Amino acid sequence: MGLRERKKAETRSALSWAAIRLTAERGFDNVRVEDIADAAGVSPRTFNNYFSSKAEAIVSRHLDRFHRAADELRARPDGEPLWESITEVALSQVEPGAEVLAHPIADRGAWVVGVRAMVAEPALQGEWLRAAARAEAEFAAAVAQRTGTDLEKDIYPHLVAAAVTAATNVAQAQFLRGDGTASMRDLLSEALVRITSGLPTP
């Protein structure tokens, strides 16, 4: 990635993180595009160059994580078992990113409450669904490439992508039901282990 592309990715990430942070702190209806742009250190016009709405900015981190995971899956070592590769790339996406380290969360309990309300916000549901569909399709394409299956004819890559999406969603929901002390990495790891073992009865 060249310098220009890297700077654009950094600006996109900063805007998305600012949208999430402000919405978790204030509530969706109490955040304006101008607030997001100001928090990211850019102009509202720059915001509009990246996103069509604050809802799109909020959900873009979810989509970007799956794009990164798909790219990382394609780059995993040849011969590595598929689900080992998937587990590695999925868990890498829930490690604290640079934006999280740059904006430490002082009160994790309050943060979880805010994110829980954000995820349930009706105005975001359509954007979540669109982003989820795009993310799952991107990951299915990476699985197809990795396994030599046909994205148009074979069910396997789509089934794997749907399973990974479900594991991520369930781990996130379980995390948000708590008080912020649980580890998202541990929850996602458990979900993937249960899937790969065939979901035996507990």
Residue ranges per domain, the chain? 58-196
Read off the pLDDT of each residue in 114-142 and give the average, rounded to a whole number. 93
Distance, CA of 110 to CA of 122 (rounded, Å): 20
Fill in the DSSP letter of residue 103: S
For domain 58-196, give the CATH number.
1.10.357.10
Read off the pLDDT of each residue in 74-101 and give the average, rounded to a whole number. 83
Query: Is residue 2 within 8 Å of residue 96, measured between CB atoms?
Result: no
Residue 85, CB half-sphere, CA atoms under 13 Å: how many?
20
Give the SS3 label for residue 76.
coil
pLDDT tens column, 141-155:
999 999 999 999 999
Backbone phi, then psi, for 11, in 5-degree steps?
-65, -45
Query: Is residue 11 within 8 Å of residue 55, measured between CB atoms?
Result: no
pLDDT tens column, 39-65:
999 999 999 999 999 999 999 988 888
The closest of 175, 39, 180 to 16, measured between CA atoms, is 39
pLDDT score for 96: 60
Amino acid at 18: A
- What's the mean pLDDT when you consider all of the chain? 89
What's the pLDDT band for 102 if we cut at 50, 70, 90?
low
Indicate the pTM of the whole model: 0.85
pLDDT score for 9: 87
The closest of 138, 119, 122, 141 to 59, measured between CA atoms, is 119
The closest of 116, 17, 11, 111 to 58, measured between CA atoms, is 17
